[in-house]
Structure formats: structure tokens, C-alpha cells
Structure 1
Amino acid sequence: VDIFNEKELAKEFHNAFQSGFASSSLKQVAHELNFENLLLGDSQWETREGGSITLLCLTCQAGVSELLHMVNNGTSPDIIVDGIVALCVDLGIANHVMCDSLIKEVEPQLLWILENRELTANDVCGMVLVGFGCHTNNPDRVWDVALPDVPKPPVIDPVLPEDGSPVMKVLHLADTHFDPYYLPGSNAECDEKFFCCRAESGVVEQPEDAAGKWGDYRNCDAPEWLLQALYQHVNATYQDLDFIIWTGDLIPHIVWNTSREGNLEVIRSSVKMVHDYFPDVPVFPAIGNHESHPVNA
């Protein structure tokens, strides 16, 4: 879709924020960019042609420019947030529950950054979407790290230990993402798209849409009994563990609907499960990006 330049896109976003609705042209751009798959981490974006990358960067810059304009003109935070939510829904990025919850969850940080940092749209898009080919040439946002003028040490091949040397047996747990509300038979193809398999995930329209008992490969996380079965098997099979490394990400992926107490409850339950099955094994945990509220905070 090569129908917009940056000025035209900016006008489209201005009208959309004013009305609360995206025009058919802006929806066409959103369809071309496929925002839903973009948020899901679509690997095809890595091989997209330059035209799509350019359109993504221009669209981002136009939208952020309008946001910055509203902030600088003293627009009420409620109006700004409501406008973002409305566009999120109208452009088909996600449903109202996800758009409203996620945007309002990050609202304090988002508005503080927009109000207290001298940002340009090019800065924001160049940093947030750098992995998708957008860039900023602002030296305050992009910098070079000067490495010391010291030659690299010579490569020394490691020496393998001799046969019969002492060994340690280590269990590495990662990304357990325990969902205490996982429901077998619930809808795994739900309207929220990014997280399903709960009672509130809607009606199961086709038998194949139902979530399995032991989890589901679609946008769902691990039920308690799956983790318990995993730990029970490991405990029975490897009774000589020396220690456990647990590298975080215990919280389910419903990042738009978390809370401090909710995250703590999942952490407590997850820790109790590991302790119940490995009571005498030392555990060395690390915090993942999902443990905080909001996520990545």
C-alpha cells in the first residue's frame, strides 16, 4: 500500500484521534502492516521488503507525532488514553478488553515519558521498532561504545575433564508461565487472540478450538497439573540432582491484566510446587521480565 506519505498519515491520525474512528484508508494501512502478527512477533517481518518497513516506520512516526502534539498542547490524559484505546480496537489490533487494559496499565509510564523527555516521533519509533528496521539518527538516543585499545587475548581451546572426574547434575527450569485459571475445554481460539484457554475466553465454536487437558500449543499457558506432572517425572527419574537453576518468567502472558498481588500469588504457587517436589535440592532463581507489574517495568 503506497498511498500515504508522512504528511498524509499524520492527517489521518489527527482525524482519527479527534473522531475516535480510523478511516478506511488508515484501516487499509493497518491491514497491510498486519499489526496483530507484528505484536505476536511474526518472524516474517525479518524478511519483509523495504516498502513494508518504510510504511511501518512512517505510520509509527505519524501516530506518535500526533500523540506528542496532543501532549504538548495540554490535552487531557484521559482523552489521549481513550483515543489510543479506540484506535487500537478500530484498527483491529486487539479487542476492547485487551486494548483498554494494556494501555491503561502502562498509562503512567507512557505519559510521564511523553511529558518529561524531549522526544521526537523519530526517536520513539527508532528505539521501539529498531528490530523492524526503523532508525533514529539522534545522537542522544543512539550512541557508540568505545572499547579499550587492547588486543583480544588468544583463543585457548578448553581442556575436557578426564574420565571419572567429578560431575554435577543440574535441572534448569525456565519460562514455566503458570496459569492458575487454565480451563480444559475452553476456547483456545478466542477473540483476545494473544491469550486464551480460560473460562472468559468465549464460546468454543469448533471441537478443534477446545483447549486440551495438558495445555495447548496456541496462545495459552501451563495448567497446574502439567507442571506438577513435569516435576513429579523429573523427581522420580533424577533423584541425584545437585541443584536447580530457575531463570524466571513464572507469570502468565496475559500482560494487559496483571497486578502486583496477582503476580505475587502466581510466584508463591510456583515456588511451592517446586519446593514440594524438590524439598532438599538447592534452587537458584532469577527474576524474568514477566515477574514485574507492569511487564518489563
Structure 2
Amino acid sequence: MIFPSVFTIFITVLFVKNSFQDDKTTNEIDSPDDVTVHINELIKIISNVTNDDSSSLCEKCELVIEDLIKFRKNGANRASVVKYLSKLCIPIMKFLPSACQVLSEIETDAIIYIIDNKDVKPQEVCGVYFQYLGCVNPYAKEWKIKIPGKKNSSDKVIYSESEEPLKIVQITDVHYDPLYKPGSNAVCDLPLCCEGRNGIPSDPENAAGLFGDYRVCDMPKNAIINLLKEIKTSQNKIDYVYFTGDIIAHKNWETSKQTNMETIEEFYDLLFTYLGNLTVYPILGNHEAHPCNL
């Protein structure tokens, strides 16, 4: 894979920009370019960047983002942007055309809004998303945080040794897949496998496990139940539960507000059923929203 989804990159920039501007009227006309030819030419340009290092990845990212921005600003309407993203998704993300089409439909409105309402630059986008790989955002603002000096020893709070420390359980990133089916194909042609629709593999080694699978699969319900039972039975005393988000499976191209809410409610019902009246302090993960990350 050359680099992750342009959709995620743009959404990341949406949150690091420091202000919103008024909506602009978009130019809803068909793009003058044939999208398929356009994407094929872009892929050729990207392929000519041959250095296999972080600078190469940064350059490829900037080429794609710059082209997408120009494509929209040159008059591409929503349908053309959807087609553009879908065609680009197939060779870069290695998704099936059907998954790319739906994912593009879900993410296009946010991307159009950012392009139309923000002075976003390719180096800024790629520098934010690929900072960990050495890409630089030349427009980044330097934050200076004043750190207070050391406290005097007399300011220290002394706790009684007789007080029993709190016992807190943290649960995170369950990524529950309601469609997970043990024995189904764990090596499929979709970005997420181990579901009944993936069929039964011809090679038994590729069958999804009973309590999950280390390949491209999310967590089954029985694994979550087993986890909660183990927490309840193995711990003598639990004061609180910290749940730090990400209930929804990694099927960004199939989410909806309704299905996300149903899965979230089902998961919290399981917490109540198996952990009883324990106090749970939850937060939302980036996958709870629809579209993902928004």
C-alpha cells in the first residue's frame, strides 16, 4: 500500500485547522476531464517517484492531495469527486471497487467542504498525517508550554498506608463485529474478513477462530462475553471500569448512524449484563462516529 486513505488525511486536517470559514457556493458542473484517464495519469506520475524512503512517500502524498484539490477547484461536482476518489482508492487502498465506491460516497461531503472552505495545502495535510514517517508540515505553529517548577517537599500530599488503592479495569478498542462467524474465511478479498459472507475457506488453516483471529478480522461477540466474565470472576474487587472507546468494527465503508447506535447499545448491554452495577466511565472512540473520524 502506498499510503493510507486520502479521506482520513483530509479529516485529520479538518480538526487541526483552527477556524471555520463561511460556506462557499460550489461549482456543480461536470469535470471536463475523464476521471478514469485522469487517475491513470496520476498513478503514472506517482510511480515515477522511485526512491523507497520517507521523502518519496511524502512526495507521493503531496502529488495526490494537490491533484485532488485542483480537481475540485477546476469545477468537479460531487459526482465527479466521488468517482475520482473511488478510482483512486482501488490502486492505492487495494480495496474492491464496491468498497471503494461506498467509502467515497460516505467521505466526499467532508472532503468537498474542506477544499471549498479552507486554504488547505498538500504539505500541511501530508505533514500532519505522516509526521511519524518524517514528512514535515512547514505551516505548523510552534506551541510553547510553560512548565511550572518543582513543588516544595512540604507541598507533597501524604496518603495513609492504611488506605486500600483503587482497582480500575480498562477496556478499550473491542471493535465488535456482529457479523463475525467462526469457521468463515479469514483470508478474503475484502478489507475485513471472518464474516459469514466470506464463505468457508478451502484450506482449513484459513478458517476464523472461535474467539477471534489474528488476521484482518475484528472481535466476535463470544470473545467479548468471555472477556467480561473473566474480569468479573478473576478480580475480587473492582472499583471502576474505564472504557476508552472504539466499539465499531473497521468497516468504514458500511457504517451508518443507525447501525453504529445499535452496536454501541448492544455492547453497553453486555457490560451491564456481565459486570453488574459497576460504575463505567466511557469515552467515544474515533470509530463511533459516522463517518468514521468525524
Cα distance, 1:30–1:216 mapped onto 2, change above 3 Å: farther
Cα distance, 1:196–1:229 mapped onto 2, change above 3 Å: same
Name stretches of at least 5 consecutive residues in structure 1 with no aligned partner: 1-13, 33-49
Cα distance, 1:210–1:176 mapped onto 2, change above 3 Å: same
TM normalised by structure 2 equals: 0.78
Q: Which residue pairs with 1:36 in the alignment?
A: none
* Pair 1:82 & 2:83 matched: yes
* Pair 1:167 & 2:185 matched: no
C-alpha contact (below 8 Å) 2:49/2:56 kept by paired residues = no
Name stretches of at least 5 consecutive residues in structure 2 with no aligned partner: 1-31
> 1:152 pairs with 118, 127, 149, which one?
149
* Pair 1:26 & 2:27 matched: no
C-alpha contact (below 8 Å) 2:185/2:199 kept by paired residues = yes
Query: Quick one: distance in 2 between partners of 1:64 and 1:294?
Result: 20
State the structure with bigger RCO (CA 8 A, min sep 6), 1 or 2: 2
Alignment deviations for residues 64-91 of structure 1 (CA, whole Å, 9 cap, x no partner): 2221222111122211220221122144
> 1:261 pairs with 229, 233, 258, which one?
258
1:58 is paired with a residue of what secondary structure?
helix
C-alpha contact (below 8 Å) 1:183/1:199 kept by paired residues = yes
Cα distance, 1:224–1:18 mapped onto 2, change above 3 Å: closer
Q: Which residue pairs with 2:12 in the alignment?
A: none
Q: Which residue pairs with 1:56 in the alignment?
A: 57
Whichever residue aligns with residue 204 of structure 1, its letter is P
* Pair 1:272 & 2:269 matched: yes
Query: Quick one: distance in 2 between partners of 1:151 and 1:28?
Result: 48
Q: Which residue pairs with 2:224 in the alignment?
A: 227
C-alpha contact (below 8 Å) 2:232/2:275 kept by paired residues = yes
Cα distance, 1:287–1:21 mapped onto 2, change above 3 Å: closer
C-alpha contact (below 8 Å) 2:36/2:87 kept by paired residues = no
C-alpha contact (below 8 Å) 1:169/1:241 kept by paired residues = yes
Query: Quick one: distance in 2 between partners of 1:68 and 1:151?
Result: 44
* Pair 1:131 & 2:129 matched: no
Cα distance, 1:237–1:172 mapped onto 2, change above 3 Å: same
How far residue 182 of structure 1 moved from its aligned partner, in angstroms, is: 0.5
Alignment deviations for residues 183-219 of structure 1 (CA, whole Å, 9 cap, x no partner): 1111111112x31111223552421111011111111
Cα distance, 1:114–1:24 mapped onto 2, change above 3 Å: closer
Whichever residue aligns with residue 251 of structure 2, its letter is I
* Pair 1:177 & 2:208 matched: no
Cα distance, 1:27–1:71 mapped onto 2, change above 3 Å: closer
C-alpha contact (below 8 Å) 2:244/2:284 kept by paired residues = yes
Query: Quick one: distance in 2 between partners of 1:25 and 1:250?
Result: 35
Query: Quick one: distance in 2 between partners of 1:237 and 1:199?
Result: 33
Cα distance, 1:223–1:92 mapped onto 2, change above 3 Å: closer
RMSD: 3.0
C-alpha contact (below 8 Å) 1:22/1:90 kept by paired residues = no
The percentage of aligned residue pairs carrying the same residue is 27
State how many pairs are aligned: 262
1:22 is paired with a residue of what secondary structure?
helix
Query: Quick one: distance in 2 between partners of 1:87 and 1:203?
Result: 31
Cα distance, 1:25–1:63 mapped onto 2, change above 3 Å: closer
How far residue 130 of structure 1 moved from its aligned partner, in angstroms, is: 2.3
Query: Quick one: distance in 2 between partners of 1:247 and 1:217?
Result: 22
C-alpha contact (below 8 Å) 2:241/2:280 kept by paired residues = yes
Q: Which residue pairs with 2:282 in the alignment?
A: 285
Cα distance, 1:91–1:228 mapped onto 2, change above 3 Å: closer
Query: Quick one: distance in 2 between partners of 1:165 and 1:172?
Result: 22
Query: Quick one: distance in 2 between partners of 1:119 and 1:261?
Result: 32
TM normalised by structure 1 equals: 0.77
Q: Which moved more, 1:273-282 or 1:120-129?
A: 120-129
How far residue 31 of structure 1 moved from its aligned partner, in angstroms, is: 11
